[in-house]
Structure 1
Amino acid sequence: MSTAQETLVDIRGLEKRFDLSGGLLDQLRFRNGRIERHQEHVHAINGVDLSVTRGEALCVVGESGCGKSTVARTVMGLLSPSAGEIHYDGKRIDDLDHKAVLPYRRKMQMIFQNPYASLNPRMTIRQTLEEPIRFHQPELSASGVADKVAEVMQSVGIDPDWGKRFAHEFSGGQRQRISIARALAVDPEFIVADEPISALDVSIQAQVLNLMMDAQESRGLTYLFITHDLAVVEHFGTRVAVMYLGRVCELADTATLFSSPRHPYTQALLSAIPRLEDDRPNHIRLHGEVPTPVELPSGCVFHGRCPYANDRCRQEIPQLIATDGGGQVACHAVEEGRL
């Protein structure tokens, strides 16, 4: 586990619920001769604990709807947590007001999934890159801002002379490079990348990944990298957190997780990666459907699809426990020695 001195971002007991009930009149139900109030919520995140160590790339993986992107947006303050705390460099930031959180906005930047939607179509690339610099570094002169824009464009492989163009004049890979440049423009320490290559062609994905890795090495960046592509995780990640239905079920360094996964869901997930080796494990086929996040199952959220589930799994929520390999797993079967 990371020590307090090494931890840059600390997420404690994070929860996020989205209200589906509508207005007060929509919530009222007439039942058994009386009026009752009925509320429903999507339980997107359910008690997530994560620590991101300074200088690492922590990858959060899981299938669609598991809550990984909600974690990213909540950490960045785009969503307010329903419960829990978020600490940055030892300081709690999720409860700060707009003025107090501004210094952290510069230190924390985000790269979004869709490069076609994350750039303003009415602004030139130069204007797009100048805006955060002028906001966070108002002391810079006009020439200083221009030099900064040119430097950051060159660092991501974009010709500074293209700054007068608009976003629609660039390909998807070039747009994502510009999005990375926008994140780097204010010299951040921590970057949340929410599936930054999933919208790109496979031939371009490696270029963008290598660009991000080069930026990490040259600028000392720390990444929280959200993805569903396990091949990318194996290439990019320092550690991996596996999520299922809003909970972290396993956390380990990349090599350990891929060589000896402990949680049944992680084992099934990794068995689905296409491999050329003859000795690769057989594909594990999970039965049943993913439960709805509106009505979470009792106990372990994975028990309905787990071949090792028993009565304890159906009743008691497993907590993350340390494993022999230095990681953590939330599984009663592992704790009891049944798996």
Structure 2
Amino acid sequence: MRGDDIGQPLLEIRHLEKRFALDQGFLETLRFRKGHITRERREVHAVNDVSLGIARGEALCVVGESGCGKSTVARLIAGLLTPSSGSVHYDGTRIDTLSGRALRPFRRKMQMIFQNPYASLNPRMTIQQTLEEPVRNHFHGLPRAQVEDKVAEVMRAVGVDPNWAKRYPHEFSGGQRQRIAIARALTVDPDFVVADEPISALDVSIQAQVLNLMLEAKDERGLTYLFITHDLSVVQHFGTRVAVLYLGTLCELADTATLFANPRHPYTKALLSAVPQLKDDHPNHIRLRGEIPTPINMPTGCPFKSRCSYANDRCGAEQPRPLRQPDGALVACHAVEEDRLG
């Protein structure tokens, strides 16, 4: 089912799944079971039946602990990975089945900012070359003077002096590199930006500057963001809505204010309880029991059941589906559906 109800979204994913094969060769698939040789294919279930839409002009934040599938979702949407099943739609057009020339216009409209600014910039290219490359690829025949003007304009927009364009990435700090990575995304005038933890590799003192820069670009250029993060304090500052993932499945989807004021899913409650609060004299941290199940052999029923204190027999047998709550949130939890949380 769909993960929200926002009318015609700019971007929509439907029943998206991604599995990575662990056994590549024939011999790796052979197993000895009960005196017989059998063939088994092992797979990592990274994303499992995720559906949601992103409205034009909003910033949807995707949160969850490491390994929950956040970055895989981002790469599936950006076209860097091919879905095992499901579909990706941009402005009403299915794009995950497109390739080559048919996909090219969507490549320009959808850009990505990566997590590590030390790895995402080519060390052998000057900043001028790095920023000119996407312009030349997507705007064929544009005069050189206009290309240079566009590069200088986006450099100024992100707070980088255009006179530094002849320098190489190693001559810049981490914050400056990430500004350049943002500038690279903006050179082709995109509508939609996928940001995969763009500030996690930066010093805390620089993170707010980069976040504010991205918000300014959103307002000035009418951008729509899919923002991947594990930092919930960033979500409060940046996001309009929040999607919570656990083991590749969607647990909860709600407006930012609604999620922080009234989290429903037990996993969401545990995540928010871990956020430090200066005003709390007696913090009430929720300690999750049990171990995270392996994504190789996905458990039946609810993927969170082994760590949830509210789990019952139904949770072990039936996977919950996202259901609409009175406040508009979508929650996939049998305990919430049956009003067992108290």
Give the shorter-chain TM-score range: over 0.9
Pair 149,300 (structure 1): closer, same or farther in 2 beyond 3 Å: same
2:62 to 50, 60, 63: 60
| Cα offset, 1:325, TM superposition | 1.0
**What residue is the counterpart of 1:291 in the other structure?**
293
**2:250 paired with 1:248:** yes
Q: Normalising by structure 1, report the TM-score.
A: 0.98
| Cα offset, 1:140, TM superposition | 1.1
> For residues 298 and 151 of structure 1, what CA distance do their matches in structure 2 show?
53
> For residues 6 and 79 of structure 2, what CA distance do their matches in structure 1 show?
24
**2:30 paired with 1:45:** no
| Cα offset, 1:36, TM superposition | 1.4
Q: Single out whichever of 276-285 and 228-237 deviates more from structure 2.
A: 276-285
**What residue is the counterpart of 2:182 in the other structure?**
180
What amino acid is aligned across from residue 266 of structure 1 in structure 2?
A: T
> For residues 62 and 29 of structure 1, what CA distance do their matches in structure 2 show?
34
Q: Single out whichever of 32-41 and 267-276 deviates more from structure 2.
A: 32-41
Q: Single out whichever of 74-83 and 278-287 deviates more from structure 2.
A: 278-287
**What residue is the counterpart of 2:322 in the other structure?**
320
Aligned residues: 338
The within-5 A match list for 1:178-217 is 178-217=180-219
After superposition, the CA RMSD in angstroms is 1.1
| Cα offset, 1:289, TM superposition | 1.0
What amino acid is aligned across from residue 288 of structure 1 in structure 2?
A: G
Residues 21 and 42, structure 2, Cα contact 8 Å, conserved in 1: yes
**What residue is the counterpart of 1:25 in the other structure?**
27
**What residue is the counterpart of 2:233 in the other structure?**
231
**What residue is the counterpart of 1:95 in the other structure?**
97
> For residues 137 and 51 of structure 2, what CA distance do their matches in structure 1 show?
32
> For residues 36 and 249 of structure 1, what CA distance do their matches in structure 2 show?
36
**What residue is the counterpart of 1:164 in the other structure?**
166
| Cα offset, 1:276, TM superposition | 1.1
| Cα offset, 1:31, TM superposition | 3.5
> For residues 55 and 336 of structure 2, what CA distance do their matches in structure 1 show?
26
Percent identity among equivalent residues?
A: 69
The within-5 A match list for 1:275-286 is 275-278=277-280, 282-286=284-288
Residues 17 and 86, structure 2, Cα contact 8 Å, conserved in 1: yes
Secondary structure at the counterpart of residue 294 of structure 1: coil
**What residue is the counterpart of 1:139 in the other structure?**
141
1:274 to 273, 276, 283: 276
Residues 6 and 53, structure 2, Cα contact 8 Å, conserved in 1: no
Residues 69 and 194, structure 1, Cα contact 8 Å, conserved in 2: yes
Residues 272 and 284, structure 1, Cα contact 8 Å, conserved in 2: yes
| Cα offset, 1:213, TM superposition | 0.1
**What residue is the counterpart of 1:72 in the other structure?**
74
The Cα offsets for residues 83-119 of structure 1, whole Å up to 9 and x where unpaired, read as: 0000000000000122110000000000000000000
Pair 271,32 (structure 1): closer, same or farther in 2 beyond 3 Å: closer
Gaps of 5+ in 1: none
Residues 4 and 90, structure 1, Cα contact 8 Å, conserved in 2: no
Secondary structure at the counterpart of residue 250 of structure 2: strand
Residues 301 and 318, structure 2, Cα contact 8 Å, conserved in 1: yes
Pair 330,93 (structure 1): closer, same or farther in 2 beyond 3 Å: same
Secondary structure at the counterpart of residue 289 of structure 1: coil
**What residue is the counterpart of 2:157 in the other structure?**
155
**What residue is the counterpart of 1:263 in the other structure?**
265
> For residues 59 and 120 of structure 1, what CA distance do their matches in structure 2 show?
28
Q: Single out whichever of 26-35 and 252-261 deviates more from structure 2.
A: 26-35
| Cα offset, 1:262, TM superposition | 0.2
Secondary structure at the counterpart of residue 45 of structure 1: strand
**What residue is the counterpart of 2:119 in the other structure?**
117
**2:131 paired with 1:129:** yes
Secondary structure at the counterpart of residue 165 of structure 2: helix
Residues 113 and 195, structure 1, Cα contact 8 Å, conserved in 2: yes
> For residues 32 and 282 of structure 1, what CA distance do their matches in structure 2 show?
49
Secondary structure at the counterpart of residue 132 of structure 1: helix
The Cα offsets for residues 42-101 of structure 1, whole Å up to 9 and x where unpaired, read as: 000000011001000000000000000000001111000000000000000000122110
The Cα offsets for residues 276-301 of structure 1, whole Å up to 9 and x where unpaired, read as: 11377611011111111011111000
